[in-house]
Structure 1
Amino acid sequence: MIRSLRLLALGAGLTAATAGAAFAQGAAGGAASANDYPTDVRADYVFGCMAVNGETRDALSRCSCSVDVVASILPYEKYERAQTILMMRQGVGQTANTFRSTPMFDDMVADLRRAQAEAEMRCFP
């Protein structure tokens, strides 16, 4: 469970530049399947996961497995929305409070957390 929370916290740390690059890559690359995450987003996820779980070959395999499981459960569009919400919640002020207090946003983040929990069960037994 702690590892899930760490993954979630790391995932929340994605920058707007990464999200923008992913959007640009998706727009330039044409149509992709609903669960096809951009390579740079997958790499960010794996790098963050490895930072938490050790920078070993085993961690690389498990973290790669984890992002694959998340991608198989949650379409990229929903993943991107949840990551944006988590990033916005880290701020201060009225905007951050809006992202913290809106039930619809809670549901989007909960979908990501469930996908990450499933990934942990499958990849980090």
Structure 2
Amino acid sequence: MTARRADRAGRALAQGLALALALAVVSPACAAEADPANDYPTEARADYVFACMAANGQTREALHKCACSQDVLATILPYDKYVEAETVLSMRQGVGLTANVFRNAARFDDVVADLRRAQAEAEIRCF
């Protein structure tokens, strides 16, 4: 290979890598904006699937059903509402005055009910 041809090949490779990197950086943000169901971070999705699999068996079938369930949940309930409901459920497990506030406020009941409805729909569709 001549020096000129090697130089062109090197530049083409560098340009291709730069384009691939640019697409990798831009694409996830664009996908999340285009699809509201993609607003759940990967860590939250994985956490949901792991917990679901712990409750439903550590099988390949459970993985498929739990991943489906999380996808359905994400289409029904925005991530910020999911976090709010999970926080309320976590706080209700505590003891003392703070836990009682989360147990006895109707506003928090509505937040948890929204999550439960979304989970029920996901279970119907996926299990």
TM-score by shorter chain over 0.5: yes
For the residues of structure 1 that align with 2:64 and 2:92, how far apart are their CA atoms? 30
Provide the C-alpha distance between the structure 1 equivalents of 2:107 and 2:57, rounded to a whole number of angstroms.
34
The corresponding residue for 1:92 is: 95
Letter matched to residue 44 of structure 2: V
Q: Could you say which residue in structure 2 is the equivalent of 1:105?
A: 108
User: Is 1:43 matched up with 2:46?
Assistant: yes
**Which has the higher relative contact order, 1 or 2, with Cα contacts under 8 A spaced 6 or more apart?**
1
In the TM superposition, what is the alpha-carbon distance from 1:30 to its structure 2 partner? 6.8
What is the letter of the counterpart of residue 51 of structure 1? A
CA distance in 2, matches of 1:50, 1:79: 19
Offset at residue 73 of structure 1 (A): 0.0
* Equivalence for 1:13: none
Displacement of 1:90: 0.2
Structure 1 unaligned spans of 5+ = 1-28
- Number of residue pairs matched by the alignment: 96
The match for 2:58 among 51, 55, 58 is 55
Match 2:69 to one of 49, 56, 66: 66
Mapped to 2, the partners of 1:78 and 1:51 lie a distance apart of: 23
Whole-angstrom distance in 1 between the partners of 2:54 and 2:80: 25
Structure 2 residue ranges without an equivalent (≥5): 1-27
Tell me the TM-score normalized by structure 1: 0.73
Structure having the higher helix fraction is 2
TM-align CA RMSD: 1.6
Greater Rg by CA: 2
C-alpha distance after superposition, 1:48-67 (max 9, x if no partner): 00011111110000000000
One-letter identity of the residue aligned with 1:108? V
TM-score, normalisation: structure 2? 0.72
Residues 22-59 of structure 1: per-residue CA shift (max 9 Å, x gap):
xxxxxxx9794443100000000000000111111100
